[in-house]
Amino acid sequence: MIIEGRTFIISGGASGLGLATAHLLTAKGGYVSILDLSKTDQDALFTSFPSISKSSSRVKFFPCDVTFSDSISTAIAGTVGWINQTHASLAGIIACAGISWPAKIIDRDGNPMDMPTAKKVIEVNVFGTLDFIRLALPHLITVPPHGPDGERGVVIMVASSAAFDGQPGQVSYAASKGAIRSATLPMARDLARYGVRVVSIAPSLFDTNMTKGMGGKARESLVRVMEWPRRAGRGEEFAHLVEAVMENTMMNGECIRLDGAVRMPSKM
């Protein structure tokens, strides 16, 4: 897969891992359609792309809430209209939108987990991911096949180390990320006939807006259990793995841990 001159559509692309990926793909000559909540400060978003102005033809923002199919469809239709102007055919669907609201199955006072909270996590992280991919795919499977293998493109989903070793308070989040991990192989099998690969990435602790609210003590104890390097990951390290996945045609149907060998313990 050659990134230059192709379009990548990123849900949750206005922040954190998605934004870092958008930066890398544009730096490599790709076009990026960023789908994110309408509250996104677009001026701030565009100033984060030093080499690209708001009027540039290589980055576009489309407001989108992945929990509403109509919202996704409108944003994808906008992206397709944009592609018709740029002629940079679709090559990748990258699902980064996610939330991580913590809750124990039963709290210290014996209160059961709040179901609306748990449902919201699953709604955004699982159904929001699958709905976004489902609605973008008809546009990916119809691009002309490229290269000697006839590849059309790549789908990347974001799981988490919680899909493997979730911590206390991560019941619904771990369940959502386990679902993404489990969906990776069957989705790759479904899409093989179209020359579309599917990979999920399972990061451990990465420095983003999602984790910036984590208290000093919690962060310190997480860092203490890390193998090496003993620090949170950086957005650009996630983006480099996205690039590697894009460029390596043999990567398919796998959930790849990106975690510096950390295995989260139960108690820290």
Ligand X SMILES: NC(=O)c1ccc[n+]([C@@H]2O[C@H](COP(=O)([O-])OP(=O)(O)OC[C@H]3O[C@@H](n4cnc5c(N)ncnc54)[C@H](O)[C@@H]3O)[C@@H](O)[C@H]2O)c1
The whole-angstrom separation of Cα 73 and Cα 28 is: 27
Per CB under 6 A, which of residues 3..62 are in contact with ligand X?
Answer: 11-12, 14-18, 36-37
**Residue 200 binds to ligand X (criterion: CB under 6 A):** no
Task: Out of 8, 31, 62, 173, pick the active-site residue.
Answer: 173
**Residue 170 binds to ligand X (criterion: CB under 6 A):** no
The whole-angstrom separation of Cα 58 and Cα 33 is: 8
The whole-angstrom separation of Cα 38 and Cα 3 is: 27
81: exposed, middle or buried (C-beta count within 10 Å: 0-12, 13-18, 19+)?
exposed
**Residue 259 binds to ligand X (criterion: CB under 6 A):** no
**121, HSE (Cβ side, Cα atoms, 13 Å):** 22
Q: In what order do the strands lie in the sheet with 90-95?
A: 59-63, 31-36, 7-11, 90-95, 153-158, 196-203, 254-258
Q: Which is nearer to ligand X, 149 or 230 (by Cβ)?
A: 230
Q: Which is nearer to ligand X, 124 or 199 (by Cβ)?
A: 124
**Residue 206 binds to ligand X (criterion: CB under 6 A):** yes
Binding residue for ligand X, selected from 26, 89, 208, 252, defined by CB under 6 A? 208
Binding residue for ligand X, selected from 92, 128, 153, 166, defined by CB under 6 A? 128
In sequence order, the β-bridge partners of residue 10 are 34, 94
Q: How far is the CB of 11 from ligand X (least distance, A)?
A: 6
User: Rounded to the nearest 5 degrees, what angle is found at the Cα of 160, between the Cα atoms of 236 and 265?
Assistant: 115
Number of residues that bind ligand X (CB under 6 A): 29
Residues that bind ligand X (CB under 6 A): 11-12, 14-18, 36-37, 64-67, 96-100, 124, 128, 158, 160, 203, 205-206, 208-211
Q: Which residues are catalytic?
A: 173
